[in-house]
Copies of this chain bind each other. A is one copy, B any other.
Amino acid sequence: MKTLLTGLALTLAVAAPTAAQDLKPETITEAAAIRDKALTSDLAWDVLESLTTEVGPRLAGTDADIAAVKWGMAKFKELGFDKIWKEPVTIPVWRRTHESGAIVTPYPQPVVLTAIGKSVSTPKAGLTAEVMHFKNFAEMAAAPDGVAKGKIIYISERMERHRTGRGYGKSGAARFAGPVMAARKGAIGLIIRSIGTDDQRAPHTGGTYYSDDVTKIPAAALSNPDADQMDRIIARGKPVTFNLNLQTEDLPDAITYNVIGEITGSHAPDEIIAIGGHLDSWDLGTGAIDDASGIAITVAAAKLVAEGKRPRRTIRVVMFGAEEIGIYGGAQYLVDHKDNLKNHIIGAESDFGAGRVWALSSNVGRQSLHVVDAMLALMAPLNVVRSSAVAGGSADFGAMVNAGMPAMGLDQDGTNYFDLHHTPNDTLDKVDPEELAQNVAAWVVFVKLAADWEGRFDR
């Protein structure tokens, strides 16, 4: 018994936190107070309203994108951030100038569609061809190469609605990889049902990837009611002819920026808690949920934490550039900061709308799990539970997390996110101010504890 007891005591001694690993009771108390303050703060709403109103749509590489960069610098300054700077990111520039489509036969009528981001143009008069229907990407992929020679392929899969947004992964291939695969099948154009869960005539854009070894064919997303209409017409069994007219431009490379604001830490100013969202948006809406909300939530969280006792570590808010067109800002951030990776104590991005935070995911070492537990305890009144997912840093911090940066994920309820994602309807009126404030309340808990705890989250 004695030996056994000694062994147990030893185990406990090893597992017990050192002084540096302890969370101070006042950190918990202060975090709770900031959390409660955040629930009644309008700050995130005001930041969100400001960006979406004063800049509006801000496709990377456009004048509006540069206006957003200026807005970001000015907003950090207005809010009293200690250090403010921007880091250049070289990006390709794409824009749409015309998009239209119509069913030509058997029941002629226009449809509402939008070019998938980066799509090449059709001929000026559009292209008219018979439609070949596939139920989903996999069915198309399984068909023989060349099977759709001279045709327009149509993929009709409906995206699943789910809190985690998992339907995006299931159905998204039609957009991400559809144009390349359709070209392999011989198609001269691709139309897909929008990767979205709504029933509005507001098609969902979003980027695709071309491959240099396959013909680049034009690609568009139908609004979901228009996809319903296609399905009904196809179901009648007659050949369907479609006219697709997309006019787009690839312009010379441009410079955009990652805009960075910091609250300097009191005791460990070189150690960084890195948070943020992306500043650019697609061109169709004003990017309220994607991702002005992420900018607003993280800016407000940093500011609210700073309004209390100065944090031990530095809080860095990154407004990433050019996420939508290919995560250029996120990639550049790793290039610019890889030499300082070890000082990135932990990172997290908010880029899944403005729905409530419902789960906390992490990607940290076991020695820091008690801090995650403490965060969860403080978030419990906000109805946040432990996630079963591993935090990946979201799109923009993804490269940093792959390189080793510890990460947290404040997982938002995405049930309705894909009603609006990448559509003209992504506008301010769709955000619930209470849900936005709940996000900030969860974020201040994470930021405050990560900034004031003296230990490391290293995996």
Contacts and interface: CB of A to CB of B under 8 A. Distances in A.
A200 B202 contact: yes
Contact of A429 (B107, B225, B233): B225
B430 A199 contact: yes
Nearest to A202: B201
| Chain A interface SS verdict (over half) | mixed
Interface residues of A, number: 33
Contacts of A150: none
Contact of A56 (B63, B109, B202, B430): B109
Contacts of A56: 103, 107-110, 229
Contacts of A63: 108
A411 to B, nearest CB: 26
6 contacts: A53-B107, A53-B232, A56-B110, A56-B229, A67-B108, A200-B202
A374 interface: no
Interface string A25-51: 000000000000000000000000100
A341 interface: no
Contacts of A286: 109, 229
A240 B110 CA distance: 34
A425 B108 contact: no
B57 A109 contact: yes
Interface in A187-218: 199-202
Interface string A418-459: 000000110111100000000000000000000000000000
Nearest to A64: B109
Nearest to A285: B201
A199 B67 CA distance: 26
B229 A49 contact: no
Interface of A: 49, 53-57, 63-64, 67, 103, 107-110, 112, 199-202, 224-225, 228-229, 232-233, 285-286, 424-425, 427-430
A108 B53 contact: no
Nearest to A110: B57
A285 B427 CA distance: 22
Nearest to A229: B53
Given A64-B108, A229-B286, A232-B49, A425 B54 contact: no
Given A200-B202, A201-B202, A229-B286, 10 more contacts: A49-B232, A54-B107, A55-B107, A56-B103, A56-B110, A200-B425, A201-B285, A225-B429, A228-B427, A229-B428
A350 B109 CA distance: 25
B201 A424 contact: yes
A45 to B, nearest CB: 12
A229 B55 CA distance: 11
A103 to B, nearest CB: 8
A399 to B, nearest CB: 31
A233 B53 contact: yes
Contacts of A57: 109-110
A345 to B, nearest CB: 37
Contacts of A285: 201
A158 B233 CA distance: 37
